[in-house]
Amino acid sequence: MDTEYRERSLQYWERTHEEQDYDRDSIRVDDWLEPFDDIIMGTTRPILDLGCGGGNDTLYLINKGRQVIACDQSERAIQRIRKNFPEVMETKCFNMLDGLAFADASFEVVIADLSLHYFTGKDTSFIISELQRILVPGGYLLLRVNSIYDVNHGAGQGREVEPHLYESGAGTLKRFFDEADIRRFFKEYKIEYLKEETMTRYKLEKKLYRVCVRFEKGE
Ligand SMILES: C[S@@+](CC[C@H](N)C(=O)[O-])C[C@H]1O[C@@H](n2cnc3c(N)ncnc32)[C@H](O)[C@@H]1O
């Protein structure tokens, strides 16, 4: 990715996490992971929350008694996670564009909630291949990404840098997926669940895809 986009994204998210000075009690957990509770409860390994932000999903997993490794590019987000969730097993601050800082086949379950839609096609494919690398064969990736119908949050707005990838007002990149995009990006995985839906966590409704894919190689 262009280093300017990378730098702007970091600044944007550091600023955002600085402004949202939330504590544990104010974090709203939504129920999107519930259909996957068998998967979440079935692993004996820690679960990776990739692009954890304020920790909505980290909290969901902690409430289920799971061991969590929470990661983000934002130092501020990671500091807040440590303060709000002392139970977190580990935190790591790194940029996904540099690869995922874990050994091959480290995880049975990875969660990437609203964190994989900020990249060019090339970078998205790279990060997805890295996810494949750190998952065990048969491992699951649970994710949500923007839908092309997410007009309340920028879909179709700003300069189109690539098909379905826009430069937002803040000068950062935002991708909006349709079903064909998801099937193409995750062609190496088995798609177990794929559904477009509306999320009400934010002030304005958000259209997104909820997805569960399984890395099957080696089975
Ligand atoms: C919309 S927030 C989602 C936070 C959380 N997963 C949730 O659903 O509430 C996106 C998060 O992805 C992180 N992120 C974006 N690009 C990243 C990158 N290149 N490397 C690591 N984290 C990144 C941001 O810092 C931000 O915290």
**Is the C-beta atom of 56 inside 6 A of ligand 1?**
yes
Answer whether residue 165 is part of any domain: yes
Note down the domain range covering 180: 3-214
Q: What is the mean pLDDT of residues 94-114?
A: 98
Ligand 1, residue 96: give the atom nearest the CA: 20
**Is the C-beta atom of 58 inside 6 A of ligand 1?**
no
Answer whether residue 174 is part of any domain: yes
Compute the distance between CA of residue 46 and CA of residue 34 in angstroms, rounded to an integer.
18
Instruction: Name the band, by pLDDT with cuts 50, 70 and 90, for residue 219.
Output: very low
Answer whether residue 219 is part of any domain: no
Quick one: pLDDT at residue 1?
63
Give residue-wise pLDDT tens across range 126-168. 999 999 999 999 999 999 999 999 999 999 999 999 999 999 9
CATH code assigned at 99: 3.40.50.150
Name 30's Cβ contacts closer than 8 Å, sequence gap at least 6.
56, 199, 200, 201
Compute the distance between CA of residue 106 and CA of residue 89 in angstroms, rounded to an integer.
15
Q: Which helix (H) or strand (E) holds 177?
A: none
pTM of full prediction above 0.85: yes
Q: How far does residue 77's CA lie from ligand 1's centre (Å)?
A: 9
45: its two tokens: 């390994």
Q: How far does residue 218's CA lie from ligand 1's centre (Å)?
A: 30
Lowest mean pLDDT among 2-16, 18-32, 80-94: 18-32
Count up the domains in the chain and report the number: 1
**Is the C-beta atom of 73 inside 6 A of ligand 1?**
yes
Quick one: pLDDT at residue 39?
98
Give residue-wise pLDDT tens across range 2-22. 899 999 999 999 999 999 878
